[in-house]
A and B are shown apart, each in its own frame.
Chain A
């Protein structure tokens, strides 16, 4: 697979020279170069992905509109644990950013530390969610509110899980000497962008499902 190989070498080469990539094709030199556009690809993907959540939110509102009482009696949500969970997730967005700052100063150890902490916080969040699921008195099929509740939080939880995997993947790679540096850390950047995305979605979801339903 000639292309693949050459694309990869070229990518390395380009990255050595130009840091972040995203420089377009380099005319006559670097001709066979394959620019690193992964960050841009990821952002495009996330824009599209956000519409998935957009659709879920729309479904939520439609279902809400159809019931007089929302959530119906007996399917109220807990607030304390999710609030704790939420603050951990929000905090983790700052933590992961510290990691990126660290790598920009070539501080791989620092970046590893911050990323591991982020992953731990993500896992804490997931654990909290599992705990919540197992301690609720209603299940997925109870009524339309619980349908929405489990589907939405579950779908988001899946994204958190993927995010954690990405972060751990980055961490795993970073153990290799020189894999990331201040000029070459697209993977780190991507994990961070993804994590922020997951975080923002959660803030909306938390407001919809937990906060708004608690308001009179």
Chain B
């Protein structure tokens, strides 16, 4: 493997000619990606590719919705179809795009590589976890035969019990499959990180991505089971005549909301914590500086997931919620801003006095930083009950969560892909297309989601296919923004497909990064290393007098 001086850097320097050859060891063939293969890297790619496919599906639904919302009248799609679209847009984006791509994809691919393991602790379980996802997607697709689930991704009863119940049951089944997959994956990550690190890698020297995956896995393990029960009861109500959520037979509809949000609030951190991990990997590499406040960032992930377990009622402020709950959950929700702020400020401080390389990965990382701050601050305003009473279930909420989800999670996924593409495929993405992609996405996001705050504040409810004409102008802005976003994916998908086949070849460590995944070839061989690496520096020791054997592997 070629060894460059770690202090010399990070532009995608033209690769030395000899790497042009295909690596000598055995590679997976294309058809291996459709099999029950247990290699963590292959599974990682499976997740990421699946995620990007469902991103298109969820995005296409969003485009249909936005087209409908161009005019106040329900003229483009039927209102029940609109509801089915929004339900499945939310479900697909969350459960088949962001969570699988960040945790399943990046997590599976990079956790073993980052900790110097040859695979995950339970490879077969890992493959099984992945293969639960396609059937889940199939169930969602089939549900459209029955009209599609129409009660929102939150699927509150009684609505979910009486509209399109067959589709709803399929939706539940899909979610339970994905939930099971997520539990399997999470316990796999925990055990892997806990037990399979190379001996020279103590916990507090792990790349921060590992910490964020720990935090996310804990959330998934704690949150998913109650959600499963909540959904199970829903199914029993629909199919077997129980009355857990039927008020006229002694049940209560609010119970479902508690079970749902006990999972689904933490689930939003499930979507963002791994992305925070990606941020902590990307920023130091291109700022050429050690990450600022390693321990603080590591522990703040845990703090976020811990506090995040006690804030769920902030989604139910206007439901049957006792005053003390409103007060308690206001305060607990506000507290999340503290550890999140620690992360944000630490990243900014990492930029400070760096020598920032503007690669596409870095652009998306900084873009994320700027967008997430906005989405986070609107989140903080939502935590205040009196104000939330006004904007709950309005477009202000839609604005908030797309800023954190799109401006946060999706930007983070893009940053991760630009950063790790050379590692995963052995080829570079085209930087020029990357920058075009960034500019379009950045402006598209603001254009689409910024006006939504205004709409919500002035009184437009969410989840409606028809609205008052007074809201039309802003809605059209959003729609144009969405079209711009739809266009923005063209350079990206083209770039990925083209570069995967024909891109410039990359060396093992093109960005001169210090974490362990860069100590092996690109793409890494099956079982990752000939000889396991020995860790001699911290993951972010940029700018230090490092001995040259830092990167040593062979």
Q: Is there an interface contact between A141 and B229, defined as CB atoms closer than 8 Å?
A: no
Q: Is there an interface contact between A52 and B229, defined as CB atoms closer than 8 Å?
A: yes
- Among A3, A38, A50, A63, find the residue whose CB has the most chain B CB atoms closer than 10 A: A3
- Among A32, A141, A147, find the residue whose CB has the most chain B CB atoms closer than 10 A: A147
* Interface membership of B39, Cβ < 8 A: yes
Q: Is there an interface contact between B242 and A141, defined as CB atoms closer than 8 Å?
A: yes
Chain B interface category by residue count: 35 or more
Q: For residues 27 through 72 of chain A, which have their beta carbon under 8 Å from a beta carbon of chain B?
A: 27-28, 31-32, 34-35, 37-38, 40-41, 44-45, 47-52, 54-56, 58-59, 62-63, 66-67
Q: For residues 1 through 21 of chain A, which have their beta carbon under 8 Å from a beta carbon of chain B?
A: 1-4, 6-7
Q: What distance in Å separates the Cβ of A96 from its nearest Cβ neighbour in chain B?
A: 23
Q: For residues 107 through 149 of chain B, which have their beta carbon under 8 Å from a beta carbon of chain A?
A: 116-119, 121-125
Q: Is there an interface contact between A49 and B199, defined as CB atoms closer than 8 Å?
A: no
Q: What distance in Å separates the Cβ of A202 from its nearest Cβ neighbour in chain B?
A: 17
Q: Is there an interface contact between A4 and B243, defined as CB atoms closer than 8 Å?
A: no
Q: Is there an interface contact between A140 and B199, defined as CB atoms closer than 8 Å?
A: no
* Interface membership of B527, Cβ < 8 A: yes
- CB-CB under 8 A from A52, the residues of chain B are 225-226, 228-229
- CB-CB under 8 A from A204, the residues of chain B are none
Q: A40-B195, A63-B251, A67-B250 are in contact. Are A45 and B243 (CB under 8 A)?
A: no
Q: What distance in Å separates the Cβ of B426 from its nearest Cβ neighbour in chain A?
A: 20
Residue ID in chain A nearest B262 by CB atoms:
A55
What's the dominant secondary structure at chain A's contact region? helix
- CB-CB under 8 A from B242, the residues of chain A are 140-141, 144, 147, 151
* Interface membership of B188, Cβ < 8 A: yes
Residue from B123, B222, B531 within 8 A of A28 (CB atoms): B531
> Interface-forming stretch among B61-69, B205-213, B233-241, B337-345?
B233-241
Q: What distance in Å separates the Cβ of A131 from its nearest Cβ neighbour in chain B?
A: 21
* Interface membership of A178, Cβ < 8 A: no
Q: A3-B38, A144-B251 are in contact. Are A59 and B196 (CB under 8 A)?
A: no
Q: What distance in Å separates the Cβ of A94 from its nearest Cβ neighbour in chain B?
A: 28
Q: What distance in Å separates the Cβ of B161 from its nearest Cβ neighbour in chain A?
A: 14
* Interface membership of A25, Cβ < 8 A: yes
Q: Is there an interface contact between A7 and B119, defined as CB atoms closer than 8 Å?
A: yes
- Among B195, B197, B532, find the residue whose CB has the most chain A CB atoms closer than 10 A: B195
Tell me, in angstroms, the Cα distance from A66 to B244 when the chains sit together. Answer: 11
- Among A1, A56, A58, find the residue whose CB has the most chain B CB atoms closer than 10 A: A1
Q: Is there an interface contact between B191 and A40, defined as CB atoms closer than 8 Å?
A: yes
Q: Is there an interface contact between A59 and B191, defined as CB atoms closer than 8 Å?
A: no
Q: Is there an interface contact between A24 and B195, defined as CB atoms closer than 8 Å?
A: yes
B 172-194 to A, binary, CB cutoff 8 A, 1 in contact else 0: 00000000000100111011001
Q: For residues 513 through 554 of chain B, which have their beta carbon under 8 Å from a beta carbon of chain A?
A: 526-527, 531-532
* Interface membership of B198, Cβ < 8 A: yes
Residue ID in chain A nearest B187 by CB atoms:
A44
* Interface membership of A207, Cβ < 8 A: no
Residue from A25, A27, A45, A54 within 8 A of B183 (CB atoms): A45
Q: A51-B222, A52-B228, A147-B242 are in contact. Are A25 and B252 (CB under 8 A)?
A: no
Residue from A4, A44, A50 within 8 A of B123 (CB atoms): A4
- CB-CB under 8 A from A44, the residues of chain B are 187, 190-191, 221
Q: What distance in Å separates the Cβ of A119 from its nearest Cβ neighbour in chain B?
A: 25
* Interface membership of B381, Cβ < 8 A: no
Tell me, in angstroms, the Cα distance from A141 to B229 when the chains sit together. Answer: 17
Q: A3-B123, A3-B526, A141-B240 are in contact. Are A55 and B230 (CB under 8 A)?
A: yes
Q: Is there an interface contact between B195 and A35, defined as CB atoms closer than 8 Å?
A: yes
* Interface membership of B501, Cβ < 8 A: no
Q: For residues 248 through 266 of chain B, which have their beta carbon under 8 Å from a beta carbon of chain A?
A: 249-252, 255, 259, 262
Q: Is there an interface contact between B228 and A141, defined as CB atoms closer than 8 Å?
A: no
* Interface membership of B224, Cβ < 8 A: yes
* Interface membership of A213, Cβ < 8 A: no
Q: Is there an interface contact between B199 and A31, defined as CB atoms closer than 8 Å?
A: no
Residue from B183, B186, B527 within 8 A of A3 (CB atoms): B527
Residue ID in chain A nearest B223 by CB atoms:
A51
Q: Is there an interface contact between B244 and A59, defined as CB atoms closer than 8 Å?
A: yes
- CB-CB under 8 A from B225, the residues of chain A are 48-52, 54-55
Tell me, in angstroms, the Cα distance from A55 to B227 when the chains sit together. Answer: 9
Tell me, in angstroms, the Cα distance from A135 to B405 when the chains sit together. Answer: 53
Q: Is there an interface contact between B226 and A54, defined as CB atoms closer than 8 Å?
A: yes
Residue ID in chain B nearest A45 by CB atoms:
B187
Tell me, in angstroms, the Cα distance from A151 to B234 when the chains sit together. Answer: 12
- CB-CB under 8 A from B199, the residues of chain A are 24-25, 27
- CB-CB under 8 A from A59, the residues of chain B are 229, 233, 244, 255, 259
* Interface membership of A22, Cβ < 8 A: yes
Q: What distance in Å separates the Cβ of A40 from its nearest Cβ neighbour in chain B?
A: 5
* Interface membership of B332, Cβ < 8 A: no
A 150-174 to B, binary, CB cutoff 8 A, 1 in contact else 0: 0100000000000000000000000
Tell me, in angstroms, the Cα distance from A90 to B37 when the chains sit together. Answer: 41
Q: A59-B244, A63-B250 are in contact. Are A22 and B187 (CB under 8 A)?
A: no
Q: Is there an interface contact between A38 and B251, defined as CB atoms closer than 8 Å?
A: no
Residue ID in chain A nearest B532 by CB atoms:
A31
Tell me, in angstroms, the Cα distance from A77 to B236 when the chains sit together. Answer: 21
Q: Is there an interface contact between A147 and B244, defined as CB atoms closer than 8 Å?
A: yes
A 71-106 to B, binary, CB cutoff 8 A, 1 in contact else 0: 000000000000000000000000000000000000
> Taking beta carbons and an 8 Å cutoff, which residues of A are in contact with B?
1-4, 6-7, 22, 24-25, 27-28, 31-32, 34-35, 37-38, 40-41, 44-45, 47-52, 54-56, 58-59, 62-63, 66-67, 140-141, 143-144, 147, 151
**18 pairs, CB–CB < 8 Å, chain A vs chain B:** A1-B37, A2-B26, A2-B527, A4-B123, A24-B197, A25-B117, A25-B196, A34-B118, A44-B191, A54-B226, A55-B228, A55-B259, A62-B255, A63-B244, A141-B241, A141-B243, A147-B242, A151-B232
